A and B are shown apart, each in its own frame.
Chain A
Amino acid sequence: MSIQIISPGALTTIQDYGRTGYGEIGIPPSGAVDAGAMEVANILVGNKMGEGVLECTLFGPTIHFTRDNVVAVTGANMNPKVDDKDIPMNTAIIVRAGENLTLGFAAAGCRSYISFSGGLDITECFGSKSTNMNCTIGGFYGRPLKANDEILFMKPVKNMSGMEKRIYKQREADTLPGTIRVVMGPQDDYFTKEGIDTFQTSIYKLTNDSNRMACKLTGPVISSKQPTDIISDGISLGSIQVSSNGQPIIMLSDRQTTGGYAKIGTVISSDIPIIAQCKPGDEIRFQSITLAEAHKIYKKYCKNTIKFQKRINRL
């Protein structure tokens, strides 16, 4: 044994980049909703960026260590502690055998990520360690972690070089708080000009009915030229479906592979982490950008991540 779950928190699952290549047989992709925070957590402890981590939602777990290892906590700040001592976010930390790592309520944000150097010993299903609770596959028996669950480390370490420099400084956001950038389409032609205007200028609030599959929003009705039922087609990460009541739904990691509502736009990949960190009641607004701009942002995001990884790996 390497870690034992003392209390699981509200919803703690194992996640990585998710499943690629099985969409055509209907297997949802899954994976960390805030993939950016997962990448940072893994980089800090010297893992490959898509190693399996714990994704903790709203209220985190208490984890007992029976072996030493280096960990990092990223994403939402849940005031992490080792035993009774506060530990910093976005920083590699040594946890000793016998100590407890505890995450509390999310002060800001919604999802925290805990990485373990060398990774967790979890069998891959369809090429991924990600838990899909709806299909009961992947992760720990296809379910959220429970008290007394025990997981082994693969290659734990007692220490790492340059520990004091294994820190991630949050970059300043290049958008206003709560602004989500979207590329319009693929089915924006189902909506009236007023509907598009409403979508691009209104404030939408996350409802309680939001989870790893989708964020359901509430706000001004987006009017359409015709019913928004379409012949079922593929759903991407960040697809914004508009159902018959005119309310937008942002599709996330555990989304079904196909769906039958018109998609007015798609959240750009670099802004999915913003949605991932929204709690029910939080407000967002959509800003339309061109595909070329979206690609520029994506490339910059990748470049920054790789730069950060190189810096840490040099330590």
Chain B
Amino acid sequence: MSEIRILPAGDLSLVVEFGNEISMVCNNKVRQLNQSLREKKITGIVETVPTFRSLLVYYDPSKIKYKKLCKYIKSFSVENGDAKAKTKRIIEIPVCYGGQYGEDLVDVARHVGMSETEVITIHSGVDYLIYMLGFLPGFPYLGGLDKRLECPRLPNPRTTIPAGSVGIGGEQTGVYPISSPGGWRLIGRTPLKLYDSERKDPTFYQAGDYIHFRPINENEFVDIEQLIQEGKYQCKIIMEGD
């Protein structure tokens, strides 16, 4: 891994860049470095924020010297390489597509020249890699949208999108963990509370996990909503390739 760049971001943080692209290889390296730094518990590192192709490292310069930290980071990333086999952790998110839960499904289907059912089949037939979380609490940036489903953003963004909405915006797909303004076309909604500050695990997932959308009907949506309210719903997590 010769191509890493370490850049200062003020006096209390630095950025480790692994390239200038959105790719699984690049993102893997970011997460591996993040993991290594976390495991080694280096004095002076305050927090790390992994993103698509870089890792932001907050540090305390009175506890660790910048040069020493850079040296550590370089040695760790070399140590790890990028060949580590990983278990795939897949989070299943039930989604009711179309109708009142996905107002734009009709438009999306028309735009991509397919039936609504075909759009649902393709969209729910993929495990989407979570490249990073950001923008909103628990908002996952996903990779892996089938090219056939790419669809431009709305010309006029909505002022509020309900929490749990699943949408397509350009070449990206994702799910809104909390209500927010947004310009993506909404194709469905999950009854799950993807982010809950009161919960021990405020998000079910982290960068590096996969999301699988499972189509459900309106009755199941209401049932799951009920179970969640009663605190009886268990989010399904599949481990693959151990």
Contact = CB atoms under 8 A, between A and B. Distances in A.
Nearest to B51: A233
B6 to A, nearest CB: 9
Nearest to A135: B137
A210 interface: no
Given A20-B47, A26-B137, A126-B197, A298 B11 contact: yes
Nearest to B6: A186
Interface string B30-70: 00001000000000001111111111101001100010000
Contacts, number: 136
A24 B46 contact: no
A186 B49 CA distance: 15
A231 B20 contact: yes
Interface string A262-305: 01001111100000000000000000000100110111001000
Contacts of A270: 11
Contacts of B51: 231-234, 258
Contacts of A258: 49, 51, 132, 134-135
A170 to B, nearest CB: 22
B46 A20 contact: yes
Interface in B192-228: 197, 202-203, 206-207
Given A26-B139, A256-B134, A183 B10 contact: yes
A87 to B, nearest CB: 34
Contacts of A233: 15, 51-54, 56
Interface in A206-247: 231-239
Interface residues of A, number: 43
A231 B15 contact: no
B49 to A, nearest CB: 4
Contacts of B206: 24-25
A266 B56 CA distance: 13
Contact of A299 (B48, B52, B61, B207): B61
Given A25-B203, A232-B51, A234-B54, A295 B11 contact: yes
- Which residue of A28, A185, A234 has the most chain B CB atoms within 10 A of its CB atom? A234
A257 B9 CA distance: 14
Contacts of A185: 7-9
Contacts of A187: 7
B137 A269 contact: no
Nearest to A239: B9
A266 B62 contact: no
A233 B17 CA distance: 10
A231 B47 contact: no
Contacts of A10: none
Given A23-B47, A231-B21, A263 B9 contact: yes
A133 interface: no
A125 interface: yes
A28 B52 CA distance: 18
B12 interface: yes
B97 interface: no
Interface string B1-24: 000000111111111010011100
A21 interface: yes
B142 interface: no
26 contacts: A22-B202, A24-B48, A26-B134, A26-B136, A26-B138, A27-B202, A185-B8, A231-B20, A231-B21, A232-B132, A233-B51, A233-B54, A234-B9, A234-B55, A235-B56, A236-B9, A236-B12, A236-B56, A238-B10, A257-B134, A258-B51, A266-B10, A269-B10, A291-B8, A291-B66, A299-B61
Closest 3 CB pairs of A and B: A234-B56, A266-B10, A258-B134
Interface of B: 7-15, 17, 20-22, 34, 46-56, 58, 61-62, 66, 132-139, 141, 178, 197, 202-203, 206-207
Interface of A: 20-28, 125-126, 135, 137, 182-183, 185-187, 231-239, 256-258, 263, 266-270, 291, 294-295, 297-299, 302
